[in-house]
Amino acid sequence: MKTAKYNNWYIDTYESILHMADWPRFESNVPEKMVCIFAWMPQTIMGINAGGGRKLWEEVSCHRVQEVVADLSDTFEKTKQTDFPSFEPIIPSITILYEGLSSILKPTASSKYLHFSHPRLFPMWDNRIRKYFGLVDSAQGYIGLLKKYSEAFHNPVEREEALSHCPSNFVRAYDVYLMKKIREN
C-alpha cells in the first residue's frame, strides 16, 4: 500500500506567506491576505462550494470580507497578548473571531486567516484534521482543536516530536506534525 506523501509546499512557502501581508494588523491588506490564503489552499475560492450549487466567489466579495474583518478587529486585539497554550481565558474572543470569519470564508480559510494573523496562538485546520480528531465545523470544534493542541503540548514526548518540525513555534510545529501523521495513516 502506497503512503501519501506530505506536501512540502506547505513547509517551503510558509515563511513567505507570513511576509506577503501585514498579518499582525488584522484589518489591513485584506485583498493580499485573501490571495495568500486561497493560493495556499488546495481549493481556491473559485472551487469552494458555498451551498445551493453556488461557489464561494459568487457569494463573497473582498469588500464584504474587509467589513467583517474590520468588525472583528477589536476582538482580535484582545488576543494579541496571549500565546498558546494559555488560550483558555480568551475562549470567548476566539469564538467570536472564528464564528465571524467562518460565516463568510468557511472554516479552513478562516483558520488560516487567524493563524497567519497570530501564528503563536491560532492553529490551522482542514477536513483531514477535523476528521482525525472527530471535530465538527464550528467554533466549538475549533476550541476542541485548541484543547487537542494543549493535550499534545502537555505530553512531553509528543511536544518534543512536534517541536522537531519548528522549534520556535509549537502551534506551527504541531500543525506540521499532524499533517505528516495524518498522511501516514
pLDDT tens sequence across 148-176: 999 999 999 999 999 998 999 999 999 99
pLDDT cut 70: percent of the chain above it = 96
The Cα–Cα gap between 60 and 25 comes to 21
CA distances from 160 to 15, 166, 172, 185 (A): 22, 10, 13, 21
User: Higher model confidence: residue 96 or residue 107?
Assistant: 96
pLDDT of residue 10: 83
Question: CB under 8 Å to 92, separation ≥6 — which residues?
Answer: none
CB-CB contact of 89 with 139 (8 Å)? no
Instruction: Look up residue 171 and give its three cell numbers.
Output: 502551534
Amino acid at 94: I
Residues 36-65: tens digit of each pLDDT: 998 887 777 777 777 888 877 778 888 999
